[in-house]
Structure 1
Amino acid sequence: MDEDDAALALHALGWILSDEPRAERLLGLTGLDPDSLRASLGEQAVLAAILSFLTAHEADLIACATALDVTPETLAAAARRLEGNQRMDA
């Protein structure tokens, strides 16, 4: 697992959790509860799910990218790498 991608996913999670409805949507879509999310933050699949959550909703992806001062493409590429689906041009 790439440490930069993992760190980016954790920063993105912080952004997601800063908004209660968005945080509840993440938990609902991933099937995690707050305790299991906290306990599994070191797992690549969970980090991938966090970024995939953003890539599935363009408005959140763009807003998070702006907040983290990265491009939406950077978040999407990190999601692909964490999912194990990196393309050669990513």
Structure 2
Amino acid sequence: MLQDTERAERYLELTGLDPDSLRNGLDDVAVLASSLDFLANYEPDLIRAAEALAVTPEELISTRRNLT
């Protein structure tokens, strides 16, 4: 998600996180869920993220559901 500067800036702006708090929150379910929610809300981002991770968009959505 952070490989694309525009997308990264949008995510950080919407969540109020900064790069350090994002890095430090990678083991925090709330941070992970917010990342997946962000991607799920804009299909082009979801598709690009899934491609970068070599998974399907459905797998990302399923992962989000399993976090709660």
**TM-score, normalised on structure 2?**
0.89
In structure 1, C-alpha distance between the alignment counterparts of 2:6 and 2:32, rounded to whole Å: 20
SS of match in other structure, 1:17: coil
The alignment yields a C-alpha RMSD, in angstroms, of 1.1
Stretches of structure 2 lacking an aligned partner (at least 5 in a row): none
Aligned with 1:31 (options 3, 8, 16): 16
In structure 1, C-alpha distance between the alignment counterparts of 2:22 and 2:49, rounded to whole Å: 19
In structure 2, C-alpha distance between the alignment counterparts of 1:47 and 1:63, rounded to whole Å: 17
| Larger Rg belongs to | 1
Aligned residue pairs, count: 68
| Structure 1 segments of 4+ aligned residues over 2 angstroms from their partners | none
What is the aligned-residue identity percentage? 57
Q: Which has the higher contact order (CA 8 A, sep 6+)?
A: 1
**TM-score, normalised on structure 1?**
0.69
